[in-house]
Amino acid sequence: MTTWSQNKVGCILLEKKLAQPFKKGDKRTQKPAWDTEKCTKCALCYLYCPDAAIRMRQDGFYEEDDTYCKGCGICARECWFGAITMTEER
């Protein structure tokens, strides 16, 4: 497990193309949930996520990544179609 003190300055990730080994999203209180009937697969949530925590599923819809979603709620506010709601973390 790599910790934050071993990172490069500027959080540059060069070795792997995904930040999978860094589990950071375990302190959140909310998490987003997608309504697939309203979602148009426009990928605005993917664009606006500061933590790169939203990825595309096999069927083209989007889902959050538990390892680094911090639950900020930007995706829910920026979604044009209201397809994302923030649900309480259990």
* Binder of another protein out of 1, 4, 59, 90 (CB under 8 A): 4
The Cα–Cα gap between 58 and 7 comes to 31
18 touches another protein (CB under 8 A) = yes
53 touches another protein (CB under 8 A) = yes
* Binder of another protein out of 33, 35, 42, 82 (CB under 8 A): 42
Q: Which residue has the tokens 């309203």?
A: 38
Q: Which residue has the tokens 């910790």?
A: 3
End-to-end, the C-alpha distance of the chain in Å comes to 25
* Binder of another protein out of 31, 34, 71, 83 (CB under 8 A): 71
CB contact at 8 A, 35 and 83 = yes
* Binder of another protein out of 36, 43, 57, 87 (CB under 8 A): 43
21: number of CA atoms within 13 Å, CB side? 10
Q: Which residues bind another protein (CB under 8 A)?
A: 4, 7, 9-14, 17-19, 22, 24, 27-28, 41-44, 46-53, 68, 70-74, 76-78
